A and B are shown apart, each in its own frame.
Chain A
């Protein structure tokens, strides 16, 4: 049994806004073992980024309210004081953000910004820091790191900046690396390189990764487990294999069906999930996907718990009231469309 690093238990995050209370995260639970990659997948506004930032306490503020537990190596990060939490930020848990173009401070040299991450947690002189930064830049694949260390962010391309961000995140050899849509802002050709890099460095640094994305294709490569989020809740949670070969929740079917397939006849129009995600202020009763779900029935008005309904091992959890048999019948229709039926 691998070492359990992080356990999130029934996490709730609410923000008070002028329009009302936003239930950004509504009872999310997952766990992360050392060396594993957990993919969190969902549309914009599903609460995946808020979940990630809450792990580091970056969503704290006067308007934010939290409930639940974030247990990291036996300590609760959620109730920890800001000063205590700073010892973990960047050292034990580090984060890579979505947009590398804006995530680096334009007025400081790249090397200085990476060095700052090291020197925040370690008392070392500037020569040693610089050598470590050069070494890190080499590890993330920046050519001529001895020279590029003195470049400013605007002298780096988007892909190189994301590599620099990865170097910064790995600077203190963190146990948990949280990557929040690390490839969304990058060219498709660079995306695969970055994902491959994260996967490789995870092993080199013996870290675990939480990979947040809206793109199932991204997690298909590297994730071990996948959690699908919708409107602040995890609607399906299982191993990558279970998710891709035996998806249980209609929302997951919709996501899978939205991936254009080149190996099938070209449809008249690209498949999509009808409707849009609910407002996080006024959530529908019961199953939150109900208003958009083509298979909704009377029972969906009741709140579906996240349970292991397939009854297999490892557990494969989902939040759908349909029986496993019904799901298997309906699912192919949704994923492959009429063409396959």
Chain B
């Protein structure tokens, strides 16, 4: 057990190093990536650029620059090239919005994804299944930026009704009810895509599991259909969903819901990432990428643990 954790932690460090190095190299290789010219502004002379290059350390060899950047990243001293704000502070400021969005949406999409999957699988081939499948496909096919703007227009800006506030994030500590009220639309919009996707995956998992021999054994014992479904079929069909959910949830926690955060102007980590990419600002991009990668790696490990819990065959003996 301890060796397992130790192995995962070491693996995690290597992944983070690899990710940060890749981001760094890509930034240097990409044309127009020279930060000194960008910092210097439009009408800078060569001397000014040279000075900036020297003070920021851009004249150092790239591995030296990488090393300095890593040191700054992990001591929380990393600052943006464009506006000199502290990256760690900015990410920290975005965390409440991002986590609120991620946790709420994840609860919605997991619950409804499972419901959709079960309903479709139980009625497989019938009109209910077709209807649910069509709805799921519609959900998957609607891009978040489009759906977000549509619901904002019709439900928040008075295009049809004005039931919801139009974007912005209200901290939970300020007002729990406003926090909830402001998040309903973003939660829904982010969840829709996942509900359709999870429903489709679960439906096919269930239909595969139903044909397993042990389900026939369960029926031959005289179990009623609900027991067969819940404790034999669903229990096994949900195992692959755990992987999906772990990784999707990690991605959204790590600022992956860039579009939702931006459309609803939530000022979360994802929106910060989008802005930094727009201004070609390496330090925040580096910070947010590592932040996101950290969650992905962390949840990968958690998924492994949950897997071992759910499936005795892969438990270490």
Contact = CB atoms under 8 A, between A and B. Distances in A.
A97 B217 contact: yes
Contacts of B236: 105-107
A105 B218 contact: yes
19 contacts: A89-B219, A89-B222, A90-B221, A91-B222, A94-B220, A94-B221, A102-B212, A104-B214, A105-B236, A106-B313, A107-B311, A116-B218, A116-B221, A116-B223, A117-B221, A120-B223, A120-B227, A165-B217, A168-B221
B214 to A, nearest CB: 4
B312 A107 contact: yes
Contacts of B214: 102-106
Contacts of A87: 222
A90 B220 CA distance: 6
A130 interface: no
B216 interface: yes
A64 interface: no
B232 interface: yes
B224 interface: yes
Contacts of A58: 216, 219-220
A95 interface: yes
B225 to A, nearest CB: 8
Nearest to A112: B231
B221 A102 contact: no
Interface in A77-111: 83, 86-91, 94-95, 97, 99, 102-107
A120 B213 contact: no
B161 to A, nearest CB: 44
Interface of B: 212-214, 216-224, 227, 232, 235-236, 239, 310-313
Nearest to B235: A107
A89 B313 contact: no
Nearest to B314: A154
A102 to B, nearest CB: 4
B37 to A, nearest CB: 60
Contacts of A113: 217
Interface of A: 56, 58, 83, 86-91, 94-95, 97, 99, 102-107, 113, 116-117, 120-121, 152, 154, 165, 168
Nearest to A91: B222
B231 to A, nearest CB: 8
A247 to B, nearest CB: 33
Contacts of A95: 220
Contacts of B227: 120
A86 B224 contact: yes
Given A102-B214, A120-B221, 14 more contacts: A58-B219, A86-B222, A86-B224, A90-B221, A94-B221, A97-B213, A102-B212, A102-B213, A103-B213, A104-B214, A105-B214, A107-B311, A116-B223, A152-B312
Contacts of B232: 105
A229 to B, nearest CB: 21
Contacts of B235: 105, 107
A39 B217 CA distance: 21
A151 to B, nearest CB: 9
A94 B223 CA distance: 12
B217 A105 contact: yes
A69 to B, nearest CB: 21
A103 B216 contact: yes
A87 B222 CA distance: 7
